[in-house]
Amino acid sequence: DAKTTQPTSMDCAEGRAANLPCNHSTISGNEYVYWYRQIHSQGPQYIIHGLKNNETNEMASLIITEDRKSSTLILPHATLRDTAVYYCIVTRRGGGNKLTFGTGTQLKVEL
């Protein structure tokens, strides 16, 4: 599975959009980009995934660059409850559904 690089931490004001970047320059054609988050002391939570098109759901939007070497998770109106570690994971189809978590980005949403 391709390796990902994320900033260690980010801050965001409540009500503003939080844009979390992820680099995955070695991604291959059959690999998807997944985002999970882990709120303190809880289990990880699925957010969104995509292959090459931009995706949006009730939680967030995922923007994937045309060359697929990077992506951005957007939380359109961050709230204090969005404070969490956000993990960008690249994994291929199949592979036993194995998730390989990196160090993620600690997002802190402040008043």
Partner 1 sequence: DTAVSQTPKYLVTQMGNDKSIKCEQNLGHDTMYWYKQDSKKFLKIMFSYNNKELIINETVPNRFSPKSPDKAHLNLHINSLELGDSAVYFCASSQGPPSLAGGPYNEQFFGPGTRLTVL
Q: What does the radius of gyration of the chain's CA atoms come to, in whole angstroms?
A: 13
Closer residue to partner 1 in complex, CB, 93/111: 93
Q: Is 49 in the site for partner 1 (CB under 8 A)?
A: yes
Q: Which stretch binds partner 1 (CB under 8 A): 4-12, 14-22, 44-52, 69-77?
A: 44-52
The region of 10-18, 19-27, 41-49, 62-70 touching partner 1 under the rule CB under 8 A is 41-49
* Residue 92 identity: R
- Least CB distance to partner 1 at residue 69 (A): 19
Q: What is the dihedral of CA 43, 48, 51, 55, to 10 degrees?
A: -170
Look-up of token digits 């931490």: 9
- In the stretch 75-94, what mask flags binding to partner 1 with x, by CB under 8 A? ----------x-x---x-xx
Question: Which residue from 1, 14, 23, 38 is in contact with partner 1, where contact means CB under 8 A?
Answer: 38
Q: Decide if residue 100 touches partner 1 (CB under 8 A).
A: yes
* C-alpha–C-alpha distance, residues 108 and 8, integer Å: 11
* DSSP state for residue 80 in the 8-state scheme: G
Quick one: 17 or 101, whose CB is closer to partner 1?
101
Q: What are phi and psi of 96, to 5 degrees?
A: 75, 15
Residue 99 in contact with partner 1, rule: CB under 8 A: yes
How do 105-110 and 9-13 pair as beta strands? parallel
